[in-house]
Amino acid sequence: MPRSPADRVPLTGADCFLRAFDAEVRRRSGASHSAQLVLRLGPGFDAVAFAKLVGEVAEAQPILRAPIRRPWGVLPPEFRLDLAVRAPLPVVEIHDAPESLAGGPPPPLFAERLNEKFDARRGRLLRCDVVRYAGGAAGTDVAFTWLHMLLDGSGSERFLRWLDEVSRGVRRASELPDEPPPSDSPKVGARALGQQAMKWRARTRSFAARAPRSLAGPLSAARQRLEVDVTTFGADETARIGERARKLAGFLTPMLFYLAASVRAHRAVFELRGIDPRSYVVPLPVNLRAKGAGGALFGTRVSLLWFQVMRESCGTLDSLLAELKAQRLATIKDGMVEAGTAAMDYARWLPRYAYARMARRAFGGELCSFFFGYTDEFLAGMTTFLGAPIENGFHAPSVPPSPGSAAIFSLRAGRLNFSHVRQSGVFSGFEQVRLQRSLRADLLGELE
């Protein structure tokens, strides 16, 4: 940094896609489209030193508090690094909790942070909350919560590695890892780009013939009240689940196994309600960061592979997996990853509300059936953070009030974490149990 002569970094197409969600959530439900990463640490974490470190890196890396503005109100939005100096440093709040709560469910405060509003125009993009148990002697939980367009899942984990490296003196706060240029402007001509975007639009519009439903129902203007449950499977169970995922979905595509189990878990709740949604539409985020490249942090680099599975395919896990595998291959072969990128690139020029409005119009008020994510090994190979042992960690991104449900999976040190983020009131207690039982049965290959 700075990366451009004018100290302005254009948002990527994916950033703008997330910005569209943010506009939707801000307008409808009084919060932001944010993301969260939670670290559960053992003893030895110095919260005060951490707060100082965050301040230092935010001083050195203005993108962490750069106002996001759209020049002239119409040009593609930018991170205004030149205005960052006037923006406040990211907030780091330190809270204390009794030892008896250590190792229990994540603090409710963390879910509350997902219901708050960031202010992109003023550069309020990131905050951190630290909960110390017995002053830190019994462990510490740290939540990083940020406006989603600042960092994607992969970038956020790299950000933590980078923070740790700065704390150990391996890097200076001003020194970012090597990264490709921040703009992901495609290298194809405008005409080809337009054709790709139209292809993507045609594919998503084809879903409308059997439009999806979410458990939240069509567009809601309810105030966002997200709840987060995190289920951590034991080491033996995780080993069994991992073996099943490899065997049934393939060595490199375990995400399809978790996606299939999640579709069937939501289906189980629909069945409980006596509703036949006819199809399930779910986007699978695809990491587009250069494979093997250094450590790009900012500028989200994702595309979405969209799946639509009919109810007839969902009868068994095997039949659903076969359908998902076939669709994944067909959509990649058909260039839908590139088409999705092109469509997102167009989002840089569109009004913020355009994407959600178009999707809801096509799908009868819904965006999709639920959000899904699989981020593989969390902070792979990293055992400590600022000197404290990492005992667990997971992602908990927010989900708009409709679809109102997100299923996120990750692994940490041989244990599977399932984060279920949901809008309050979408699931009854009984439905929540039903979803968990169905999921567990499919993951472990057991009868319910």
Partner 1 sequence: MTWTREALTDRVYEILRDDLLTVGEEFTPRSSLIDAGLDSLAVTQLLLAIEESTGVWVDESLLTEETLACAESLAACVHAQIAG
Q: Which is nearer to partner 1, 34 or 327 (CB)?
A: 327
State the nearest-atom distance from the C-beta of 335 to partner 1, in Å: 10
Region from 24-32, 91-99, 115-123, 289-297 binding partner 1, contact rule CB under 8 A: 289-297
State the nearest-atom distance from the C-beta of 415 to partner 1, in Å: 20
**Interacting residues with partner 1 between 335 and 374 (CB under 8 A):** 337
Question: How far is C-alpha 129 from the chain's CA centre?
Answer: 18
Cα first-last separation, the chain? 54
Q: Which residue has the tokens 């939501």?
A: 266
CB of 78 within 8 A of CB of 67?
no
What DSSP string runs through 431-447?
Answer: HHHHHHHHHHHHHHT--
Is residue 322 a contact residue for partner 1 (CB under 8 A)? no
Give residue 16's identity as a one-letter amino acid code: C
**Total residues in contact with partner 1, by rule CB under 8 A:** 17
State the nearest-atom distance from the C-beta of 326 to partner 1, in Å: 11
Residues in the chain: 448
Q: Which is nearer to partner 1, 290 or 433 (CB)?
A: 290
Question: How far is 23 from 355, CA to CA, in rounded Å?
Answer: 10
Q: Which is nearer to partner 1, 221 or 380 (CB)?
A: 380
Question: How far is 175 from 362, CA to CA, in rounded Å?
Answer: 45
State the nearest-atom distance from the C-beta of 331 to partner 1, in Å: 10
State the nearest-atom distance from the C-beta of 412 to partner 1, in Å: 18
Region from 284-292, 309-317, 345-353, 432-440 binding partner 1, contact rule CB under 8 A: 284-292
State the nearest-atom distance from the C-beta of 445 to partner 1, in Å: 19
Report in angstroms the alpha-carbon separations of 98 from 139, 144, 388: 10, 21, 19
State the nearest-atom distance from the C-beta of 181 to partner 1, in Å: 13
Q: Which is nearer to partner 1, 140 or 341 (CB)?
A: 341
State the nearest-atom distance from the C-beta of 417 to partner 1, in Å: 20
**Interacting residues with partner 1 between 166 and 185 (CB under 8 A):** none
**Interacting residues with partner 1 between 220 and 279 (CB under 8 A):** 250-253, 255
Give residue 241's identity as a one-letter amino acid code: I
DSSP alpha helices (H): ranges in 30-139?
Answer: 47-60, 108-113
Is residue 290 a contact residue for partner 1 (CB under 8 A)? yes
Q: Which is nearer to partner 1, 289 or 422 (CB)?
A: 289
Q: 176 - beta bridge partners?
A: none
Sign of the four-CA dihedral 324, 328, 334, 339: positive
Is residue 319 a contact residue for partner 1 (CB under 8 A)? no
Q: Which is nearer to partner 1, 341 or 369 (CB)?
A: 341
State the nearest-atom distance from the C-beta of 256 to partner 1, in Å: 9
Is residue 292 a contact residue for partner 1 (CB under 8 A)? yes
Question: How far is C-alpha 291 from the chain's CA centre?
Answer: 20
Question: How far is 294 from 364, CA to CA, in rounded Å?
Answer: 42
What DSSP string runs through 216-254?
Answer: T-S---PPP-EEEEEEE--HHHHHHHHHHHHHHH-TT-H
Q: Which is nearer to partner 1, 319 or 432 (CB)?
A: 319
Is residue 330 a contact residue for partner 1 (CB under 8 A)? no
Q: Which is nearer to partner 1, 289 or 348 (CB)?
A: 289
Q: Which is nearer to partner 1, 170 or 326 (CB)?
A: 326
Chosen residue from 98, 108, 274, 333 binding partner 1 by CB under 8 A = 333
Is residue 293 a contact residue for partner 1 (CB under 8 A)? yes
Q: Which is nearer to partner 1, 328 or 422 (CB)?
A: 328
Question: How far is 393 from 124, CA to CA, in rounded Å?
Answer: 24
Question: How far is 67 from 142, CA to CA, in rounded Å?
Answer: 25
**Interacting residues with partner 1 between 143 and 162 (CB under 8 A):** none
Is residue 286 a contact residue for partner 1 (CB under 8 A)? yes
The kind and range of the H/E element at 164 are helix 153-167
Question: How far is 164 from 333, CA to CA, in rounded Å?
Answer: 39
Give residue 167's identity as a one-letter amino acid code: S
What DSSP string runs through 171-197?
Answer: S-TT-PPP---S----SS-HHHHHHHH
Q: Which is nearer to partner 1, 91 or 330 (CB)?
A: 330
State the nearest-atom distance from the C-beta of 447 to partner 1, in Å: 27
Task: Provide the binding-site residues for partner 1, judged by CB under 8 A.
Answer: 250-253, 255, 286-287, 290-293, 325, 328-329, 332-333, 337
